[in-house]
Structure 1
Amino acid sequence: MRRYAVLTGEGPFRIRLLFQGILTGVAAGLAVVCYRLLLGFAGAFSFRALSGSAGISLPGLVLLWTAGALLIGLLMDWEPMAKAGGIPQVKGEILGQLSMDWLRVMTAKFLGGGLAIALGFSLGRAAPAVQIGAAAGKCMAALQGKGKIEERLFLSSGASAGLSAAFNAPLGGVVFALEEVHKSFSPLILLSAMMASLAADFVSKCFFGLSPVFPFTVPNTIPLSHYGHLMVLGLLCGAGGALFCRVILDAQKFYDRLPVPPRFRMLLPAAAALCIGSLLPAILGGGHEMLEQLAHGGTSPAGIFLLFSGKMLFTALCFGSGAPGGIFLPMLAVGGALGAFYGTAAAGLFGTDPSLAVNFLVVGMAGFFAAVVHAPITGIVLITEMTGSFSHLLSVSAVVITAHVTAELLGARPIYDSLLLRILRRSKSFCSAGKVLLEGTVCPGSSLDGIAVRDAPLPKGCLLVSISRAAEEILPRGSTVLQAGDRVIALADGSRARRIQEKMLGLTGVCSPEPEQRLRE
């Protein structure tokens, strides 16, 4: 009966889920706040050291940077699940194909992430915050003795809370958990993730204040007569996002071909950071300072393009090494630079208002995110929350949809799905056993609409356990006929969960962002 309550979300379990979400959100929020504070100190040290204001000689810098890079490599050897961003690892664990030791991951993420930012690596805090939040959720589940199915609810709540605390964006965290991590709408996940995200946002704002992450001053909104420019920018963001994904994946292949052990790979971005520190300091770190510099204006189109290309290449060099840090914030910085470049160029070529360049920067961030991650709704909600203004909603939506469609037409794969596939192919020892809870809604005209359960083409290793129709729970029988609007819950074998999820997305009528054949390729 307890397992059934978990699967259907009925009875006292739904009420208990509210309080569990709040506790998970508080734990994840506190962990991410500590991580943000650590990265703040590390970034300040990096700027002082590389600018020369810290009083460290060049030989001293070389020694410190070499020691730091080697220490990061040792930490990643000690806990490989802490490598890179962490979002693919969280997705893999929720699907039952990866398993992390939450304490080791948090330890390696804090120490390695702080060192990476102190060395000036172009890595962000959002993806690590998602993994740290998920680790905090797993810790809470372990302390309460929860089973695997409930544990994954804690993981989802913690991941949502992590992104919320990283960017002061509670709605963005919830939508990210639904659209990107699970790729489906689930009332249970929505309930727990919403409570966790709000709790984490409250904790974060107690430390960092109520201001949005990017409080850009936007004097005017983009007039309707300029929406042709937004379509062009959407095309550029779609193409740029596809290029960004390609560069990130090619950088990982480049490191794989190097005849050196993985623990020494961080020496290459560390050396690059030493050189870049005095030449192009704006591209160091996550990208927050770069976006603020672009928002203030005064940079020529050539200078903006240099920041755009330099940030993209340096991010790929840092991320490909396996250093603990994400591409979430650097990706937004690259997209913002592309938007600012177009806005500044349009002012010179077409006579648009130069003050609108900051508007193009904002919509460029959202469009680039949608093209890289293939999560358009998350992009719209997240950028709206991060800038603290709804005045961009229509223009952001126009660019996001155009960029998303363009990236799809160019054959670009969602970056986090591609990274997860790479991890699964290279880290088979991480696969875990157990069952995974999958949910979906039967859409009109789909392969399951009007089909009896006994005739439903369900994938092998998948068991239909519950049907919710008009707020009524139905126990599936062979003669039960599925109807449009039914919310179906299935248990899947953990070793096959990813492919079963893709198959279920197709059967229920939701177009999978990554068809199974392309996944094999």
Structure 2
Amino acid sequence: MDKNRSMSGKVRPVTMKGFSLLAGGSGYRVHVIFQGLAVGLTAGFASILYRILLGQAERFSFFALSGEEPIPIPLLVPLWCLAAWVIGRIMEWEPLARGSGIPQVEGELLGQISMNWWRVLTAKFLGGALSIALGLSLGREGPSIQIGSASGKGIARLGKKDTLEERLMISSGASAGLSAAFNAPLAGVVFALEEVHKSFSPLILLSAMTASLAADAVSKYVFGLGPIFSFGAPEPLPLGLYGYLLLLGVLCGVGGALFCRLILSVQDLYGKIAVAPRYRIVLPALAAVIVGPALPLVLGGGLPMVEHLAHHGGSLGFILSLFLVNLLFTAFSFGSGAPGGIFLPMLAQGAALGALYGTAVAQLCGVDPSTVTNFLVVGMAGFFTAVVRAPITGILLITEMTGSFSHLLAVSLVALTAHMTADLLKARPIYDALLVRLLRRSADSRGQRDLLLEASICPGSPLDGRAIREAALPKGCLLVHVLRGDEKILPRGDTVLAVGDRLIALADGSRARRVREVLLELAGVPCQRGRGYVPPGEGEDDLRDAGGDRRGE
């Protein structure tokens, strides 16, 4: 096969420089570091501007809806409806700015969609600020990830980078966006590996780590060195109380599964309403006018709610009302298609559930009331893990947000219990489900670029000890390199694979998503993405290639 041609016969948009990058030569590693630094500084600056803008918008919503002198209702209602209509028109202008933005980033990296980077940035800034100003229960973290990714893509396009470098810069921008939003550089790196790519890649790790640290440096320069939560980390929970954590983990798993299904059900409900999408955001805007004066803590991203529960607590009835109202209002706000995320709102719901459980344990079981904050902290990690199904990200995120590793054991126990419970309930990870819906809507216009994919063979993989010609590789997949330590092996039919080998494969752009799923599963990395949806032309029968023409010579 001509090395300058793709499997479909079109010119391949991956250069030899891309192969060299994946092979990890020292010169290219230095190149990746400087590239990650540029993306991190740019994406971090953009995410910080967005964070400042949304902070001002959130303060305005509290003042307008629940302040000492709120805007009069006769003026408030038409003003809110007009602003919601403007948001709807902005989303019509750039549909890929809807929602959190994380599924859009994952779809972009799979070659299934293509963001117009400057339109996404414009729509996300304007629409996101207006949505928070209206008091909608939406977070800044998902949009910050998309803003970081769009910034990375913008740098790649302006620098005329090839496909692989563009994907690296998009991934690095995602890490930088999360890092700047939460002052959490480690969580930003792990999020790119665990959630966005669902596999470990030394190249992505190097690029994402550089970008994440650069963005964190900019964030700390602007906002200070302290963690996001002002209450810090309470004293570690005594080991004798760890039995209570198991039940909390189960509750977080059930609550997270309920949250996922509620988000998707409300989206379906909006789809059945005979109202043009541009007017749907009017509904949660009016709901904010009703809910805001009565329960202002549910407005905005949820950070004030977490801080209030940590500092002041509340009765069981009050905390339960916060949890339920915030749960429903978040689903109602997000389902409308408004530009905002569910990252911080889900942490707020986990905090409320943890505080509710801790208060109940303190009142009914005689546990020291000062431990309620401990249950609040671990509840956030458990709820996040149940919803996103990314336990390592959840554990690191809460650790960095509280500024202490003293709760690592408790947080890990609750997160893993919640993960197992959500799995048993067959709740689909929220971003996987949202990605499937996004790809359904964009199936006719999805990208056709050939993409380089990477997977490392794990212990227990069916590929371990098997020759390439015997491996049931997915159709549309061509192995181009096998990296074993520092050795670069040109794959042939009799090449025997082993644990630790890094497989570099070229995937047909129209099948990239499913090829990645099957390749990761063969490598021993279970992948839940995309179950239940097969794009046109990708039937289950053609996922695997019975012939040997794509398995090496």
TM bracket, shorter-chain basis: over 0.9
Correspondence 1:401 to 2:421: no
CA contact 1:374–1:513 (8 Å) conserved in 2? no
Name which of 91, 99, 110 aligns with 1:95: 110
Match of 1:117 in 2: 132
From 516, 520, 540, the counterpart of 1:505 = 520
Q: CA deviation at 1:56?
A: 2.7
Number of aligned positions between the proteins: 521
Q: CA deviation at 1:357?
A: 0.5
Return the alpha-carbon distance in structure 2 between the equivalents of residues 19 and 167 of structure 1.
Answer: 23
Q: Which residue of 2 aligns with 1:3?
A: 18
In the alignment, what sits opposite 2:470? Answer: 455
Could you tell me how far apart the structure 2 residues matched to 1:443 and 1:170 are? 26
Distance 1:79 1:466 in 2: 38
Say yes or no: does 1:185 pair with 2:181. no
Q: Which one of the candidate residues 311, 319, 340 is aligned to 1:325?
A: 340
- The aligned runs of 1:319-358 (5 Å cut-off) are 319-358=334-373
Matches within 5 A, 1:286-297: 286-297=301-312
Matched, 1:64 2:79: yes
CA–CA distance in structure 2, aligned partners of residues 48 and 233 of structure 1: 35
- Which sections of structure 2, spanning at least 5 residues, go unmatched? 1-15, 541-553
Q: Secondary structure at the match of 1:438?
A: strand
Shift of 1:406: 0.4
Report the counterpart of residue 252 of structure 1 in structure 2: 267
Say yes or no: does 1:309 pair with 2:324. yes
Partners of 1:149 and 1:435 within 8 A in 2: no
Shift in Å at residue 426 of structure 1?
A: 1.4
**Contact 2:18 / 2:165 at 8 angstroms: preserved in 1?**
no
Q: CA deviation at 1:297?
A: 2.8
Shift in Å, 1:161: 0.3
| Length-normalised TM-score, structure 2 | 0.92
Quickly say closer, same or farther: Cα 1:55–1:384, change in 2 above 3 A. Answer: closer
TM-score (norm 1): 0.98
Structure 2 counterpart of 1:395, which letter?
A
Quick check: 1:6–1:13 contact (8 Å CA) kept in 2? yes
Contact 2:255 2:383 in 1 (8 A): yes
Contact 1:122 1:318 survives alignment (8 Å): yes
Looking at structure 2, the residues matched to 239 and 229 of structure 1 have their Cα atoms a distance apart, in angstroms, of 16
> Deviating runs (4+, > 3 A) in structure 1?
52-55, 513-521
Using the alignment, how far apart are the partners of 1:92 and 1:295 within structure 2?
A: 37
Match of 2:101 in 1: 86
Which of 373, 376, 384 aligns to 1:369? It is 384
Aligned residue in 1 for 2:178 = 163
Give, in angstroms, the shift of residue 337 of structure 1: 0.4
Structure 2 contact 234–373 (Cα < 8 Å) conserved = no
Asked if 1 retains the 8 angstrom alpha-carbon contact of 2:189 and 2:208, the reply is yes
- 1:444 CA drift (Å): 2.8
Q: Does 1:423 align with 2:468?
A: no
Say whether the 8 Å CA contact 1:43–1:285 is kept in structure 2.
yes
Indicate how the Cα distance of structure 1 residues 357 and 109 shifts in structure 2: closer, same or farther if over 3 A, else same.
same
Any idea what the Cα deviations from partners look like across 1:428-485, whole Å, max 9, x if unmatched? 2441121222111112332211111122211000111111112211111122111111
The counterpart of 2:48, out of the listed 33, 47, 72, is 33
1:237 to 252, 256, 271: 252
1:142 is aligned to 2:142: no
**CA offset at residue 7 of structure 1?**
3.0
Correspondence for 1:214 among 219, 222, 229? 229
Q: What is the aligned partner in structure 1 of residue 147 from structure 2?
A: 132
Aligned equivalent of 2:507 = 492
| C-alpha contact 1:241 1:369 (8 A) present in aligned 2 | yes
Residue 268 (str. 1) matches residue 283 (str. 2)? yes
Cα distance per residue 1:226-276 (max 9 Å; x no partner): 111000000000000000000000010010000010000001000000001
Deviation at residue 516 of structure 1 after TM alignment: 4.3
Q: Distance in 2 between matches of 1:54 and 1:29?
A: 36
Q: Deviations over 1:487-520 (max 9, x none)?
A: 1111111221111111012101122234846879
CA contact (8 A) 1:290 1:333 kept: yes
Q: Quick one: distance in 1 between partners of 2:251 and 2:141?
A: 24
CA contact (8 A) 2:144 2:181 kept: yes
- Indicate which of 227, 231, 237 corresponds to 2:242: 227
Deviation digits for residues 340-378 of structure 1 (CA, Å, limit 9, x no counterpart): 000000001111110100010000000000000000010
Amino acid at match of 2:149: A
Instruction: Give me the CA root mean square deviation.
Output: 1.4
